[in-house]
């Protein structure tokens, strides 16, 4: 008998790579932070022993979900301003609230609330874009969730920095700050074409190449962005950005609801990823991302929730479902983004976009043990013809029973285990922020 | 002190009529099957006594959700065939499976599974379209849920009837069968323009007027339906149906993704209702219903889940959310179908379409006590700026804690109370059907 740190026996194991595979009555063997074996449960019981065994008789294991676009701390603005278009939502509500309230303690508290919500829906890694990266990284490391800190770049001042020079300075300092944090990486995060100058984009492109870091960018989010760019620069944003060197394999084009065939071909040729945030695009009336066309062009598609202020949750189970359903009507093709493809986008797609696909995104020997377990025994999932179909089209996030990151169980039978994620404390902190903000 | 059968004390009460109102710390007083008073909890405690009191300190009460379009028994086909267009899904998968398996016992078992799912998401009334109405009505009455049996009309034979004459004969017999059932009404349910003849539509119009009964019809569900009608009849379906007298105040136009301005004006002038099934329309790539335009025309909008075979659930909380989000992107107007309007559509809108709005659809004195309680204490609903926003945009169905129909508590702290809705028995029955059907 071989010793293991923990063993998870499950009714179904869905590795995602290879796509569509469903293993029945299999077990995952975990040693330290890695998956070291995947085999039939009968063989696992004969070959391995561990003091920590999970017997998940009604559950499917999937790779932990990768939320590829979030503004975690904005959870404290959830439901503050609804039913408004993108620009008035930003200019009249969100930016004023941010300028008044965003601070290190806001980021600490909001990020904690967000991490708790994400772990409770099976998300094990998130790609964030916000301010006060040190506080954010510290909280992720304490909570035990994997994340990438988006290093913000903007032309205008915020509570975090006075202008582009200071954003870059703080970004570079942050790369150094996280160098010994095993769970946290960093991404350059120029906010959007309409808030970042060509000079800053050029600098981002240069630093991204130098440090081999992904670039997260709101790109072609709405028609208005395109129209404004044509007015101001004479060209669509993507064409303008091409000149700055930013359209490359490190780019994560977030939202991307507006796209010509040529623009799609260019993204595909560059090896860039697209990050789909369907619910934010719907709720803010930003538009419909052409997922079917992007799939046909072979572009890697990831899924993100966007911030809870626009969406209004960080529920990757729901986002995956919306993505799968919406793609069909937009493409006028009910085969677009199938259940398997949606699950792939929500796991491996995100891992690829983050350049972490050698480490996470699928349940494979040698990868980190980032895993979610979903209880499929509820009557809402019956009859069980196909677990992948039920997970994408019928499950809701409350059925996620367990979440592990790097082998550590952070959600156990729906209970958060991290000391820094006490549920009643989080609710009470959120209420205190509401009392301040709602005034 | 006045005696009451039961009293529900709640942190928030959202009556829906008047729209947008949120009462804090109020109580509902229930006597027999009706709401007899709504007042501040302090006053309720001073004025009323009851042995049955619910203290819902973190909850919002809303009117029970009205699922205005379902094929309940089809829950047994949930996930049988996904990622397929409407016509191949129907012709190659659903109709063959129906012709092989649909029977009185299929309808009994499938309807029970569906009712359990609906009560667990706060649905207290559903507008059904399926076969074997007697079995369906018996199960609804036993389970205690409110429903309307759609009396099917088709030109072709099914396991239920040999052709139009027998459908009408069985429909008329059913009106008699349910006359002493307080929870069950009936609706004429001609399936669709492409499966029902002009003669049958004329007869439906006549019988609907005679019995003052609503008419449930899949209308303008997809582009293909329009194109086929133009080929076969030379006109679009709505124009053809106008001649049969069926476009009137009793009509429930289900799906209605395709609409000219003139067609919208005609529906509005007729006082017909539109039943929106956004998730089915997305998943089958049927199209986008023009909710913003229908709202502007003043048409009553209801919401339905469609059957779990296409959608793949009967979750009205999720459907309401999808409706609210999707309407904005389709209208290119983020103010379309606000949170309050979506909640109205999912309650009063359905009640109006079913011609039951004098009895259900809102929390008002004199109406039936059809109520759902939603626990808003989860961290996914924090901070709490506005309960209506959180219910529509952030809640998921597992937060529904209680459901009452006609004053009877059918879901109590997430547990179904009806003898005929035993959860483990339902899962086991569904599994037996799967074993037969999946072969």
DSSP string of B358-404, one letter each residue: TTSSS--TTSB--EEEEE--SGGG-S-S-HHHHHHHT--GGGEEEEE
In sequence order, the 6+-apart residues with CB closer than 8 A to the CB of B184 are B137, B140, B141, B146, B147, B148, B149, B178
- Same domain for A90 and A49: no
Q: Is residue A193 one of the residues assigned to a domain?
A: yes
Confidence (pLDDT) at A347: 98
- Same domain for B6 and B96: no
Residue of B nearest to A425 (CA): B379
Torsional class of B96: left (φ above 0), alpha (ψ -120 to 50), beta (otherwise): alpha
| Residue B179: count of CB within 10 angstroms of its CB | 9
Q: Quote the distance between the C-alpha of residue B184 and its chain's center.
A: 14
Query: What 8-state DSSP symbol labels residue B333?
Result: -
Q: Is residue A334 one of the residues assigned to a domain?
A: yes
In this complex, the residue of B82, B279, B338 whose CB is nearest that of residue A83 is B338
Instruction: From chain A, pick out residues whose CB is under 8 angstroms from the CB of B283.
Output: 324-325, 328, 334, 393
Q: Do B282 and A326 touch (CB under 8 A)?
A: yes
- Cα end-to-end distance, chain B, whole Å: 63
Helix (H, G, I), strand (E, B) or coil at A241: helix
Assess contact for A392 and A251: CB atoms under 8 A: no
Give chain A's residues under pLDDT 50.
none
Give chain B's residues under pLDDT 50.
none
Burial class (CB in 10 A: 0-12, 13-18, 19+), B68: buried
Q: Which of these three, A323, A353, A383, is where a domain ends?
A: A353
Quickly list H helices, B234-344.
237-244, 261-270, 278-283, 291-296, 308-311, 316-331, 339-344
- Same domain for B324 and B287: yes
Q: Do A434 and B383 touch (CB under 8 A)?
A: yes
Instruction: From chain A, pick out residues whose CB is under 8 angstroms from the CB of B333.
Output: 85, 285
Confidence (pLDDT) at B311: 87
Residue of B nearest to A329 (CA): B285
- Same domain for A344 and A262: yes
Query: What 8-state DSSP symbol labels residue A64?
Result: P
- Same domain for B81 and B220: yes
Rounded CA separation A192/A169 (Å): 19
Q: Do B281 and A329 touch (CB under 8 A)?
A: yes
Q: Is residue A57 one of the residues assigned to a domain?
A: yes
Domain at B133, CATH number:
3.20.20.140
Q: Do A393 and B311 touch (CB under 8 A)?
A: yes
Torsional class of A270: left (φ above 0), alpha (ψ -120 to 50), beta (otherwise): alpha
- Same domain for B391 and B298: no
Assess contact for B381 and B390: CB atoms under 8 A: yes
- Same domain for B148 and B41: no
In sequence order, the 6+-apart residues with CB closer than 8 A to the CB of A167 are A151, A152, A153, A154, A160, A161
Q: Is residue A291 one of the residues assigned to a domain?
A: yes
Helix (H, G, I), strand (E, B) or coil at B124: strand
Confidence (pLDDT) at B172: 98
- Cα end-to-end distance, chain A, whole Å: 63
Rounded CA separation B276/B213 (Å): 20
Query: What 8-state DSSP symbol labels residue B94?
Result: I
Assess contact for A390 and B343: CB atoms under 8 A: no
**Nearest chain A Cα distance for residue B261, angstroms:** 22
User: Inter-axis angle of helices B423-437 and B104-119, to 10 degrees?
Assistant: 130
Instruction: From chain A, pick out residues whose CB is under 8 angstroms from the CB of B332.
Output: 223, 285, 287
Q: Is residue A220 one of the residues assigned to a domain?
A: yes
Rounded CA separation B134/B140 (Å): 10
Rounded CA separation B192/B194 (Å): 5
In sequence order, the 6+-apart residues with CB closer than 8 A to the CB of A287 are A221, A222, A223, A257, A258, A281, B329, B332
Closest CA to A298 of A275, A269, A278, A258: A269
Rounded CA separation A215/A359 (Å): 19
**How many structural domains does chain B have?**
2
Rounded CA separation B36/B367 (Å): 8
Domain at B394, CATH number:
2.30.40.10
- Same domain for B200 and B331: yes
Q: Is residue B430 one of the residues assigned to a domain?
A: no
Q: Do B335 and A84 touch (CB under 8 A)?
A: yes
Instruction: From chain B, pick out residues whose CB is under 8 angstroms from the CB of A286.
Output: 329
Confidence (pLDDT) at A88: 85
Q: Is residue A266 one of the residues assigned to a domain?
A: yes
Rounded CA separation A376/A12 (Å): 10
Assess contact for B283 and B238: CB atoms under 8 A: no
Assess contact for A39 and A27: CB atoms under 8 A: yes
- Same domain for B119 and B13: no
Confidence (pLDDT) at A86: 76
Burial B284-296 (b: 16+ CB within 10 A, else e): bbbbbbbbbebbe
Closest CA to A155 of A123, A125, A202, A190: A190
| Residue A3: count of CB within 10 angstroms of its CB | 9
Phi, psi at A275, each rounded to 5°: -110, 115
In this complex, the residue of A279, A386, A431 whose CB is nearest that of residue B382 is A431
Rounded CA separation A282/B322 (Å): 9
Domain that holds residue A147: 66-353
- Same domain for A90 and A11: no
Assess contact for B309 and B293: CB atoms under 8 A: no
- Same domain for B336 and B189: yes
Instruction: From chain B, pick out residues whose CB is under 8 angstroms from the CB of A437.
Output: 383
Sheet strands side by side (includes B65-70): B65-70, B123-128, B146-153, B184-190, B215-219, B251-255, B273-276, B300-303
- Same domain for B323 and B194: yes
Confidence (pLDDT) at A7: 98
Residue of B nearest to A287 (CA): B329
Interface with B, mutate which of A382, A391, A432 (most B CBs under 10 A) = A382
Helix (H, G, I), strand (E, B) or coil at B229: helix
Q: Is residue A434 one of the residues assigned to a domain?
A: no
**Which single residue is written with the structure tokens 């979750």?**
B315
Instruction: From chain A, pick out residues whose CB is under 8 angstroms from the CB of B74.
Output: none
Question: Could you give the C-alpha distances from A96 to A81, A345, A414, B294, in angstroms and in order?
Answer: 12, 34, 36, 34
Rounded CA separation B260/B257 (Å): 10
């Amino acid at each position: 008998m071989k010793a293991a740190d923990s063993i998870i026996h499950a009714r179904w194991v869905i590795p995602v790579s290879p796509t569509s595979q469903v293993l029945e009555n299999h077990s995952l063997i975990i040693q330290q932070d890695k998956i070291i074996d995947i085999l039939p449960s009968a063989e696992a019981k004969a070959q391995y022993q561990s003091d920590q065994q999970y017997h998940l008789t009604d559950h499917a294991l999937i790779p932990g979900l990768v939320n590829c676009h979030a503004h975690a701390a904005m959870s404290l603005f959830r439901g503050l301003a609804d039913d408004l278009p993108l620009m008035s939502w930003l200019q009249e509500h969100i930016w004023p609230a941010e300028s008044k309230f965003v601070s290190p303690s806001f980021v600490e508290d909001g990020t904690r609330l967000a991490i708790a919500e994400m772990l409770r829906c099976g998300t094990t890694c998130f790609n964030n874009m916000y301010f006060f990266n040190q506080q954010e990284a510290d909280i992720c490391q304490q909570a035990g969730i994997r994340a990438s800190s988006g290093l913000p770049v903007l032309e205008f001042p915020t509570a975090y920095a006075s202008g582009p020079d200071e954003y870059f300075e703080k970004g570079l300092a942050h790369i150094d700050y996280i160098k010994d944090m095993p769970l946290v990486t960093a991404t350059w995060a120029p906010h959007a074409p309409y808030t970042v100058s060509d000079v800053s984009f050029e600098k981002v492109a240069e630093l991204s190449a130098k440090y081999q870091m992904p670039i997260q960018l709101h790109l072609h989010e709405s028609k208005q962005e395109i129209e404004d760019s044509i007015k101001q620069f004479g060209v669509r944003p993507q064409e303008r950005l091409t000149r700055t060197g930013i359209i490359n394999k490190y780019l994560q084009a977030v939202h991307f609801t507006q796209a010509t065939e040529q623009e799609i071909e260019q993204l595909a040729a560059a090896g860039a990823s697209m990050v789909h945030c369907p619910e934010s695009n719907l709720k803010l009336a930003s538009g419909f991302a052409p997922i079917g066309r992007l799939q046909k062009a072979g572009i890697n598609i990831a899924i993100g929730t966007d911030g809870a202020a626009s969406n209004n949750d960080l529920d990757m189970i729901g986002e995956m479902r919306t993505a799968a359903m919406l793609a069909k009507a937009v493409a006028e093709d009910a085969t677009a983004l199938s259940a398997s493809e949606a699950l792939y986008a929500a796991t491996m797609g995100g891992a690829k976009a983050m350049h972490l696909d050698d480490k996470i995104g699928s349940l494979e020997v040698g990868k980190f043990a980032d895993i979610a377990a979903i209880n499929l025994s509820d009557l809402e999932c019956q009859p069980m013809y196909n677990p992948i179909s039920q997970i994408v089209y019928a499950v809701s996030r409350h059925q996620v029973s367990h979440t592990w990151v790097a082998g550590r169980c952070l959600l156990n039978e729906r209970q958060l285990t991290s000391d820094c994620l006490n549920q009643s404390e989080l609710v009470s902190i959120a209420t205190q922020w509401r009392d301040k903000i709602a005034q």
